[in-house]
Amino acid sequence: MTSDHHHHPAEPAPVERRVAALEQLLTDRGLVPPGFVDAINRAYEQDIGPRNGAKVVARAWVDPEYRQRLLTDSTAAIAELGYGGHEGDHMQVVENTADVHNVVVCTLCSCYPWPVLGLPPAWYKDPPYRARMVREPRALLAEMGCDVQDDVEIAVWDSSAEQRYLVLPQRPPGTDGLSEQELAELVTRDAMIGVARL
């Protein structure tokens, strides 16, 4: 297997040690309170980052022409909303339908669409998720609280440096009266990875 096919972060262990040492130094000197860096990480994992993707999804729900552009040239359509760049140069949006449920994984490491989802959650990087989502996606999804009906096909997308994926969830029923902004607030990070349904 060639290393240029798939992106692996260079020397993650030394990087992690340097980050931990830096965090300890900042904490020891009273420059940041304990837990500060973890709080920042959580914010980028759960709040700040995924809100970009949520805006993309909401726009696709309210604007059929945008949705079409998003599905045919995802990177350009996402850039229309101002998102793109590092770890998101080549995006493919995959649409959930009544017949297909999409879910995203990176089997070899942790490739993830940073410009629309922020930092990947810890479980996304864990070997059990990466292995089992390919082997037994329906069982793993059920364990994660995402029940996909037996007659709905599950499509598993393996991310790489060349291609990152974003799931376009189905618009929930009963949301006809909501504004684009209100719709965006319904969209969760997990739904855009495909491990939850709205």
Smallest gap from residue 111 Cβ to Fe ion (A): 3
C-alpha distances (whole Å) from 148 to each of 101, 143, 197 are 7, 11, 9
Residue 141 within binding range of Fe ion, rule CB under 5 A? no
- Please name the residues in contact with 60: beta carbons below 8 A apart, sequence gap of 6 or more: 66, 67, 70, 93, 168
C-beta of residue 167 within 8 angstroms of C-beta of residue 191: yes
Q: Which stretch binds Fe ion (CB under 5 A): 21-29, 52-60, 78-86, 108-116?
A: 108-116
- Figure out which of the listed residues 94, 104, 106, 119 binds Fe ion, where binding follows CB under 5 A: 106
- Figure out which of the listed residues 26, 32, 37, 109 binds Fe ion, where binding follows CB under 5 A: 109
> What residues are annotated to the active site?
106, 109-111
Residue 111 within binding range of Fe ion, rule CB under 5 A? yes
SS3 (DSSP) at 119: coil
Q: Which stretch binds Fe ion (CB under 5 A): 47-55, 70-78, 107-115, 162-170?
A: 107-115
Rounded CA-CA distance 51/184 in Å is: 8
**Binding positions for Fe ion, rule: CB under 5 A:** 106, 109, 111
